[in-house]
Amino acid sequence: MFALTFQGKVIQVEAAQFPVNPALVWVDVGANGQGIAAGWLYDGIIFTAPPAPPPPIDLSDLDNLQKVLKAFGLLIRQYANDLKTGTYTGDGAGGTKTVANVKADFAAIYQALP
């Protein structure tokens, strides 16, 4: 068996070699192929299985993420409008918002969203 590699990754495993682009490299993996398949990594000496795929996305978290992003967008829009109209205030130096101000403003907007 032969593994066809490109830039350190197995792209194909075949029983026999055949002519390929010079950028591709055939590597003899023995008679049984050692379980090597497309997607495996090759460092020039050792083959390793590809990393495990990331866990599936929990769709219930996407709803919360969407709500967080919406609240953040609304907060930025509110701050931009306050700056534009001259009503931007805070209790930090020079009337700037402190981290506590921003957290409180964000929490209020987030909690008001459905």
Q: Is the pTM for the entire model greater than 0.75?
A: no
Pairwise CA distance, residues 30 & 46, whole Å: 13
**25-32: average pLDDT:** 90
Strands of the sheet containing 25-28, edge to edge, are 25-28, 2-6, 9-14, 41-42, 47-48
Long-range contacts of 102-105 (CB under 8 A, 24+ apart): 102/75, 105/75, 105/78
Angle subtended by helix axes 99-112 and 59-85, to nearest 10:
120
For range 81-109, the mean pLDDT? 74
pLDDT of amino acid 57? 56
Region 1-10: mean pLDDT is 94
- Per-residue pLDDT at 93: 60
